[in-house]
Every structure is written in structure tokens, then in C-alpha cells.
Structure 1
Amino acid sequence: MIATKIGKKSGVPDNYTRLGEYIAAAEEKGEKLHQFWIRNCDAGTNIEDLGLALLDIEAVRRQKPDIADKTYHLVVSFRPGEQDKLSKNDLMAIEAEYAKSLGYGDHQRVAGTHINTDNFHMHVAFNKVHPETLKVVTPHRDFKILAKVSRDMEKKYGLTIDPGITDGKQREQNTLSPAARNYEAHTWQESFQRHVFKYREEILEGLGKAKNWQEAHEVLSGYNMSIKLRGNGMVLMSPDGQSMKASQLDRYCSKNKLEERFGSFKARQAKPRKNGEHLTKTKLRYKSRPLVRHRNTPALWRRYLSTRKTMTRQPSLAVRALRNWKMFLLIEAYQDPLAMVLILAHQELLRSSLNTPHKNKKLILAHSP
């Protein structure tokens, strides 16, 4: 099961009544209402009580006229056929667990499950304003909360496990693309994709808060990347031209999912700067760096960068080779034992990550990229 917060779109009013009616009506083409319930409203708990319940909820929300976003819209998607495994009581218990973990256990909400062919999913519309204290609750790092509850509920009810963004190290190993692995194997430098994976949780948290394409672009630019259309999908781009599918960051970053939230793709618009205003500073810049860190790395890396800088005007084969950290080490190894130490460290990393047999150790030294 996959739980997603549907963020409020920029420029669109927060209309809780409209959302509650949408959940009850299952308005999408070919869709039908499966189960429905209401919680923490004096008006009642069933679909026939919806009208009065919405009036009740709106009365609470009007107590916070200065808050523009007072709705937390949660969608939980299940695998095909799983509706047959779950009773209404089970579905209500799952919804209650999400509510409790998000801090909405005592909040008013409308919930319902929809079926559209094999697409079985649950909508929950939480009123973020507490009905008694009138405190507006906005969960912090809710994507981690949603992932944890999903894994717990899958185990409890015997549902298919959908790996989430909390499975950090395992997902990084499994999702590094062949292109990124080839780049690292041929250069011994950290790929753009590895840079992105290191900050996956921070990036996803920032994108989760974005309300439009411009805000999404701002989040990504903070990590020295951009998002662009390519073919039928979207890619994340580094300044040096490396790219990865946006969906490799997370399934919710696919073109379809992002356009569901922000509308049709819009390229980043350069904002005119006012006097004294500075450009947004990049938080974590991607740049070439050695794949393996060793106490001898900094000195050799500085020598590599210095050599490459001084020889850029000489279009020779040697210069082209020196643009590659791996080739630099292979050349240096003939006169610097520290370079040989790093070569052996890189070989060990590649052998462990690619399951390279020990007997092939010498092949890495023998071949150039």
C-alpha cells in the first residue's frame, strides 16, 4: 500500500465541503464508492449524515479565518484484489492508525474507499483544525510517518509490501541505474544519481511541501539539479549533463504524479531580483569527487585537479585521459605508491558492489575507460 498526501494547489481555494462530496460521490469515470464513514462529527457517521457533518466541520474551520490551508488530503492505494482481504472494520482501523500517527486522532474527517477496475484506494479528508482546541495541526516529516504506518499495516493485515522511501540504503543499492554504475566504473567518480540518493529524504520532504512547479524547481535547485521533460517522462539533470529518471527518486516523482499535483509541466521562471536581493544559495552542490574516500585521497585529488587545470589548453590524448580520475590514478601509480593504495581501494569497492570475482582483480588495472 502506498500513502500519499495530496497537497493544496497554488491559487486554488481550500474547499473542504467540495472534497467531502467528491469522496462520497466517487466522481471519476468508471469509479464507484466502496465504503464510507465519518469521524468525530456530532452530526453522525454514515453517508446520509454527510450534509450535516460538512456543516459541522465548516463551523469549526471558520474559527481560523486567517489559515489558508486547513485540509490534509490523504490517499492510500492498495494492490489489485486487496479489497477482498479487508472488511470495513479493517479499513477503518487502518485509517485510524494513519490519523493517530499524523496527530489527527481526535480531528474531524470524512473517509471513503473507491474502486476503479483494479485501482482500489482510500481517500481521507482531515480537518487540520482541532474541533475543541482549534489548534491547527501540520505533521512534520509526514512522508516518513506515512511510510512507517504503511509497512506496519501491510504486515498486520497480510498485504503486499511496497518498499518506501524509508528503506534508504537498500533502495540506493537496488536503484542505481546501469548508466550511473557505468559512469562510476569508468571514472571512479561519484555519479550524479548517487549524489541525489544521498539526499533523497530531504528532497522528497521539500517536494512534498511544494504547491506549484515554481516551488518544486526552487527545491531542486537547492540541490544543484533541474527537472526537464524528456520523451514521455521527466528527468533530473546535473550541471554537467548527467541525468536520471525523476521516478527513480521516488514513484511519486513520475511525470503523471507530479502533473496531478502541479498541473501541466512549466519550466522554471527566472525571478527578477530586487535591489540588494541575492540569488538562492545552493545547499548541496553536485561536483566531481572520488567515489572512494581514503586518508590519501585529498592530496592526490588536489594534484589531479591542479594538473587538469594547467593542461586544459593542450588537446592531447594525455590531457583527455587526465579528465578521468581513474586514468589519473593508473598513470600516477607508476611513480606514487599512494595512488596504488587508492586503486586497490577502488577495486575492492567495485568488486563488492558488482560481485566481481577476485580472479578478475588485475583486469581493472589493465583496462582504460
Structure 2
Amino acid sequence: MIATRIGKKSDVPDNYTRLGEYIAAAEEKGEKLHQFWIRNCDAGTNIEDLDLALLEIEAVRRHKPDIADKTYHLVVSFRPGEQDKLTKDDLMAIEAEYAKALGYSDHQRVAGTHINTDNFHMHIAFNKVHPETLKVITPHRDFKILAKVSREMEKKYGLAIDPGMTDGKERDPNKLSPAARDYEAHTWQESFQRHVLKHRGEILEGLGKAKNWQEAHEVLAEYDISIKLRGNGMVLMSPDGQAMKASQLDRSCSKKKLEERFGVFEARQDKQPSKGLHQTRTRHRYKPRPLARHRNTPALWRRYLSTRKTIHRQPKLTARASRNWKTFLLMEAYQDPLSMVLILAHQELLRSTLKTSHQNKMLTLAHDP
């Protein structure tokens, strides 16, 4: 099971009635309604009660005219054939568990399951406005909540396990690839993969709300990341050409999983800036920076960056020494004691990283049958 919140587009009005009708009608080509129910509405619980239930929900929502986003739209995707394992009562119980975990047990909602060939999924449209207190509930870091409930429901109902955004039992989400470790050992600079993993939770939360490839590109661009096809898969790329497999960020970011959500891959369509429009702002730019830090590092780092700017005018040996932070420190150590301090700090950091990596590998081997 993969549970995904469908975020509201900023330029599209929040129309709960339209969403409720969409769930009941199963309008997509080749799609049909499987099961349907309504919760916490006096109008009733069945599809024939939908019109009155939607009026009832809209009456509650009108108490919050200044809130632009009053709908929490959740889609839960199942594996092919799992519709045969689950009764309507099972599906309603699963929906109730998501509602409870998100804080929506007492909220009005419309839910239904759709079948489109092998694509079996559930839509749940929660009214974020509580029908009695009129408080608007918006869950914080909901992707973790959704993953936890999904794993519990898979276990309870004997469904196939789909490791989600926050699952790290089978794979250490912060483990660097051999290529990233080699880059850091060679340059003593932070790798692109470390930059990506540093913002992993935020990136996955943003991707979980994306509805198409262009929105996914915009999320990644905020972190100075581009996504491209390579071979049979996809890679995340830095501005300087470093790359990591998209699935190394999370299994939900594999080519197969992303194309199941967004369709066949589409390259980013750069918008031409014009009046009233703005390009995606890079909030967390990837910049080369020292792997190990010291209170006096900034001064030496500025000197290194300064030499990089004039590298083409330097003697050959000096130019080679300025190729990366590591070689620069090694050359500077002869005349600057601070460089030696930083060399020792980097060596200790790398030694610790390799030791931890080796210990994790031994633990994995020890637990393998």
C-alpha cells in the first residue's frame, strides 16, 4: 500500500463537492467504482445520500470563508489483485485507521475505491473543518503518519509490503553510495548525495504532494536537483554533474514508482520569466563545502575559493594543488598549522565513516539467513 496526499494547487479553488462527485462517479477512462461510503454526515452513509451529504459538508465549510484549503485528499494505492482480499468492511476499517492517525476520526468525509485494470486504489476526501468545533486540522509531517499506518494495515490484512518514504529498516536512508564516498575521500568536500540526504524528509514530503512531472521538477529544483533518465532508470543530478540513483533517495522515487504516479517521464519545461510569473526559487543550493568543520575553517576556505578563481593563471603545480579542498590543504600544511589540524579532522571523519559502514555491513551479514 502506498498512501499519498494529493495537495491543492495554488491556482485551483478548493472544490469539495466536485471532488466528492468525482469519487462517486469514477470518471477516469476505463475506471469503475468498486465501493463507496460516507462518514459523519446526518444525511446518510450510502451513494444515494451523496447530494445531501455534500450540502451538509459545504454548510460546515462555509463557517471558514477565509481558509483557502479545507480539504485533505488522500489516495491509497494497492497491489493488483488485492481488491479480492478485502471486503468493504476491511476497506472501511483501513480508511478509519488513516482517519484516526491523521486526527480526522470525527470529521466528515467521502470515500470510495476505484478499479482501473490492475490499478486498485482508494480515494478519501476529508473535510478539514471539524463539524462541531469548526477547528481546521492540518496534520504535520503527515507522510510519516501515512507510512506507519500503511505498514500496520499491510501486516494486519496480509497485503504486499510497499516500503514507503520513511521506512529505513531494509536500507539505511543516510548511507552514501560508493561513488559518493569516493568523491568525499578524494576531495574532502561534501558530496551531492550528502546534500540530498540532508533534506530527504522535506524533499519526499514535497514529492508526495506533487501531481505530475512538472510539479515534481519544481520540488526538486528548490534543492538544486534535476532528475533525468539514465539507462533503464532515473538519476538525480547536481549542477556540477554529480549523480545518484533516484531510488537511493527512496524506493518510492524509482523510475517505475514515479511513472506509475505521473505517467511516462517528461523533461522539465522551463518557464520564461514574465510579469506576474516567477521561476522556481532554489531554497537550498548545492555548493562545495568542507566535509569537516573547525571554527577557523571559513578563513581558509575563502582562501581556497580565491585560488580557484585564478587557477588558470597559476603555475602548473599550484594549479594542481587547487583542484580540490584536499589537495589545497595538503599543500598549505607546509606553511599553515591550521591546515594540518583540518587534515587530521578530515582523516578522523572519514575513518569514522568507513568504520560505521563496515560495522553496518557486518551486522547485515550476521542477520542474513
- The offset of 1:105, in angstroms, is 1.0
What amino acid maps onto 2:353 in structure 1?
L
CA contact (8 A) 2:43 2:53 kept: yes
> Cα RMSD over matched residues?
4.2
1:353 matched to 2:363? The reply is: no
Q: Secondary structure at the match of 1:57?
A: helix
What is the 5 A alignment of 1:63-78? 63-78=63-78
Deviations 1:48-83 (A, max 9, x none): 322322232233333333333222110011223333
Matches of 1:89 and 1:205, distance apart in 2 = 30
Shift of 1:148: 2.2
Return the offset for 1:40: 0.8
Q: Is the 8 A contact 1:43 1:56 kept in 2?
A: yes
Secondary structure in 1 aligned to 2:313? coil
Structure 2 distance, partners of 1:246, 1:188, is: 24
Counterpart secondary structure, 1:189: coil
Counterpart in the other structure of 1:267: 270
Letter in 2 for 1:13: P
SS at match of 1:172: coil
Partner SS for 2:8: coil
Aligned to 1:116: 116
Identify the residue that residue 288 of structure 2 maps to in structure 1: 288
Deviation at 1:308, TM superposition (A): 5.2
Alpha-carbon distance in 2 for matches of 1:110, 1:100: 15
Please give the alpha-carbon distance, in whole angstroms, between the structure 2 residues aligned to 1:354 and 1:267: 43
In the alignment, the residues of structure 2 paired with residue 341 and residue 22 of structure 1 have an alpha-carbon distance, to the nearest angstrom, of 59
1:125, CA displacement in angstroms? 0.9
Which moves more between the two structures, 11-20 or 99-108? 11-20
CA contact (8 A) 1:186 1:326 kept: yes
Match of 1:365 in 2: none
Distance in 1 between residues matched to 2:180 and 2:271, nearest whole Å = 26
Any conservation in 1 of the 2:78–2:120 contact (CA below 8 Å)?
A: yes
Compared CA separation, residues 83 and 185, structure 1 to 2 (3 A): farther
> What is the CA distance between 1:108 and its match in structure 2?
1.1
Runs of 5+ unmatched residues, structure 1: 274-278, 358-369
CA distance in 2, matches of 1:76, 1:181: 36
In the TM superposition, 1:139-154 aligns within 5 A as 139-154=139-154
CA 1:345–1:111 in 2, change beyond 3 Å: closer, same or farther? closer
Measured at CA, do residues 134 and 76 of structure 1 come closer, stay the same or move farther in structure 2, by a change above 3 Å? same
Preserved contact between residue 228 and residue 237 of structure 2 (Cα < 8 Å) = no
| 1:201 is aligned to 2:162 | no
- Quick one: percent identity of the two aligned structures? 75
TM-score scaled by length of structure 2: 0.74
Write out per-residue CA displacement over residues 242-263 of structure 1, whole angstroms, 9 at most, x where no aligned residue: 3445565443697647858xx9
Q: What TM-score do the two structures reach when normalised by structure 1?
A: 0.74
Q: Does the 8 Å CA contact 1:76/1:122 hold for their aligned counterparts? A: yes
Cα distance in 1 for residues equivalent to 2:99 and 2:168: 25
Query: Using a 3 Å threshold, how does the CA distance of structure 1 residues 144 and 269 change in structure 2: closer, same or farther?
Result: farther
**Residue identity in the other structure for 2:350:** H
Matches within 5 A, 1:329-368: 338=341, 339=343, 342-343=346-347, 345-350=349-354, 352-353=356-357
For residue 120 of structure 2, what is the amino acid of its counterpart? Answer: F
Residue in structure 1 matched with residue 366 of structure 2 by the alignment: none
Report the more deviating stretch, 283-292 or 51-60.
283-292
